């Protein structure tokens, strides 16, 4: 193959949340794009499985995310309207916790510094308005009116369709086994053949170290569980917003009834990292679900605490829970977007546009300095 005739301008490796949006944004910008996904375009192992994702603009992780979240929300609404599909459902998102804990201070800073629409609910107001949540001493609610629910599988499919309509060639069930940057571009190896492109964006999530070993990202399972309410009417999206709660060391998140019968809830930070993402066990014994059943029993008394089903998915985590977004150290032809650490889905469209700008124009107007992939090697 002649090195002067690349197969595409940009290849996107991994077509989950970030990859599907990146392929769409690149193709929409007029680039020649190829993309590869090891499984089907929708699957249940990575970050885009499990039927629903929370969107929050008032951010536990820090007010500095708000400009990204605002742009992401606009993009979700545009994609929802353009596709005619229910990708984003505005339900609001209720944060619950004591006002002095760090996540609640960050939510408060987000709404104050960026003028986000919100309501602050004192303990008695919280209980009167949302009796579905058991009260705990001194806890308040902050209702982020920009919050809502996303449909991850449908969103990935829709972005991939958009990319294809704009001319991208996306191949599913195609494993990338190696990516080799050199001064003239990037060679990509799949079972079928090798491909030559000018730039590549690596969006392989929890699997990222298989292709970029220097990426400081570990695969971690996240378990989702669905519970039956005593009265399903109390958990409809118009009366029960998406929520995220920190109480007595438990971090519980969930969303209203989206399937007509069950409420999804999960706990974060109780599952150990995996040595190898291919070791993911998806069928869990009942005792493994005890942390979430305990949290539901204590904090959501209107739900039967035995889950009616569960699913096991994965995301890539960094040590500081902040993504890697930018050129790979020592290989500027490779852009990496990974390590979204359990909170990236809501930002996928804006990171797709950032990756497209990095790959095509070497820069972005968003401040992503703190996501520099080189920060861990510098620290080491």
Give the nearest distance from C-beta 179 to ligand FAD in angstroms: 9
Give the nearest distance from C-beta 269 to ligand FAD in angstroms: 12
39 touches ligand FAD by CB under 6 A: yes
Helix ranges, the chain (H): 17-28, 66-83, 102-114, 123-129, 152-165, 208-211, 290-299, 348-361, 375-379
**Measured from the CB atom, is 3 or 321 closer to ligand FAD?**
321
Question: Within positions 156 to 175, which residues make up the interface with ligand FAD, using CB under 6 A?
Answer: 175
Joined tokens for residue 161: 């369709």
Task: Pick the stretch among 49-57, 75-83, 293-301, 365-373 that binds ligand FAD (CB under 6 A).
Answer: 49-57
Q: Dump strand ranges (E) for the chain.
A: 8-13, 33-36, 53-55, 88-89, 93-97, 118-121, 140-144, 148-150, 169-171, 176-182, 185-190, 194-202, 218-227, 242-247, 250-255, 263-267, 309-317, 324-328, 331-338
| Residues 228 and 302: beta-carbon distance below 8 Å | no
**Measured from the CB atom, is 5 or 241 closer to ligand FAD?**
241
**Measured from the CB atom, is 77 or 127 closer to ligand FAD?**
77
207 touches ligand FAD by CB under 6 A: yes
Binding mask 304-323 for ligand FAD (x = CB under 6 A): ---------xxx--------
Question: Using CB under 6 A, which of 79, 222, 258, 328 touches ligand FAD?
Answer: 222
**Measured from the CB atom, is 127 or 280 closer to ligand FAD?**
280
53 touches ligand FAD by CB under 6 A: yes
Helix, coil or strand: residue 122: coil
Using the Cα atoms of residue 360, residue 366, residue 368 and residue 374 in order, give the sign of their dihedral.
positive
Number of residues that bind ligand FAD (CB under 6 A): 38
Helix, coil or strand: residue 295: helix
Question: Using CB under 6 A, which of 63, 79, 160, 224 touches ligand FAD?
Answer: 224
| Residues 5 and 35: beta-carbon distance below 8 Å | no
Joined tokens for residue 146: 């920009």
136 touches ligand FAD by CB under 6 A: no
17 touches ligand FAD by CB under 6 A: yes
Question: Using CB under 6 A, which of 35, 329, 344, 352 touches ligand FAD?
Answer: 344
Which residue, 356, 349, 364, is CA-closest to 79? 349
19 touches ligand FAD by CB under 6 A: yes
176 touches ligand FAD by CB under 6 A: yes
Compute CA distances 316 → 206, 214, 220, whole Å: 4, 14, 6
346 touches ligand FAD by CB under 6 A: yes
Task: Pick the stretch among 9-17, 59-67, 84-92, 114-122 that binds ligand FAD (CB under 6 A).
Answer: 9-17
Phi-psi region of 136 (alpha: psi -120 to 50; beta: other; left: phi over 0): beta
343 touches ligand FAD by CB under 6 A: yes
Beta bridge partners of 12: 35, 201
- The residues that touch ligand FAD, with contacts defined as CB under 6 A, are 13-19, 36-39, 46-48, 50, 53-54, 175-176, 203-207, 210-211, 222, 224, 313-315, 338, 340, 342-346
């Amino acid at each position: 193959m002649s090195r002067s005739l690349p197969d595409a301008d940009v290849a996107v490796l991994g077509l989950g949340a970030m990859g599907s949006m990146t392929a769409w944004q690149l193709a929409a910008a007029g680039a020649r794009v190829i993309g590869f996904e090891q499984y089907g375009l929708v699957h249940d192992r990575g970050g885009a499985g499990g039927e629903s994702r929370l969107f929050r603009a008032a951010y536990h992780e820090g007010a500095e995310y708000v400009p990204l979240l605002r742009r992401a929300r606009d993009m979700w609404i545009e994609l929802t309207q353009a596709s005619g599909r229910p990708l984003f459902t505005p339900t609001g998102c209720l944060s619950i916790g004591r006002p002095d804990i760090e996540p609640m201070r960050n939510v408060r800073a987000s709404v104050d510094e960026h003028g986000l629409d919100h309501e602050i609910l004192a303990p008695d107001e919280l209980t009167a308005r949302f009796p579905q949540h058991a009260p705990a001493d001194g806890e308040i609610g902050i209702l982020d009116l920009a919050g809502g629910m996303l449909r991850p599988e449908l969103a990935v499919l829709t972005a991939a369709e958009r990319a294809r309509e704009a001319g991208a060639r996306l191949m599913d069930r195609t494993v990338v086994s190696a990516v080799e940057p050199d001064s003239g571009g990037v060679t990509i190896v799949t079972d079928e053949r090798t491909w030559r492109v000018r730039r590549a964006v690596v969006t392989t999530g929890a699997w990222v170290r298989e292709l970029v070993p220097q990426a400081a990202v570990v695969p971690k399972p996240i378990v989702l569980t669905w519970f039956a309410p005593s009265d399903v009417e109390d958990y409809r999206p118009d009366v029960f917003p998406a929520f995220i709660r920190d109480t007595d060391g438990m971090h519980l998140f969930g969303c209203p009834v989206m399937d007509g019968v069950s409420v999804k809830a999960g706990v974060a930070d109780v599952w150990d990292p995996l040595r190898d993402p291919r070791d993911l066990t998806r069928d869990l014994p009942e005792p493994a679900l005890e942390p979430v059943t305990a949290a539901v029993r204590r904090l959501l008394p209107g739900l039967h605490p035995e889950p009616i089903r569960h699913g096991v998915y994965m995301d890539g985590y960094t040590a500081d829970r902040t993504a890697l977004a930018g050129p790979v150290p020592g290989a500027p032809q490779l852009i990496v977007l990974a390590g979204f650490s359990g909170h990236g889905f809501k930002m996928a469209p804006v990171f797709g546009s950032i990756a497209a700008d990095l790959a095509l124009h070497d820069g972005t107007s968003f401040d992503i300095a703190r996501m520099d992939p080189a920060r861990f090697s510098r620290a080491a």
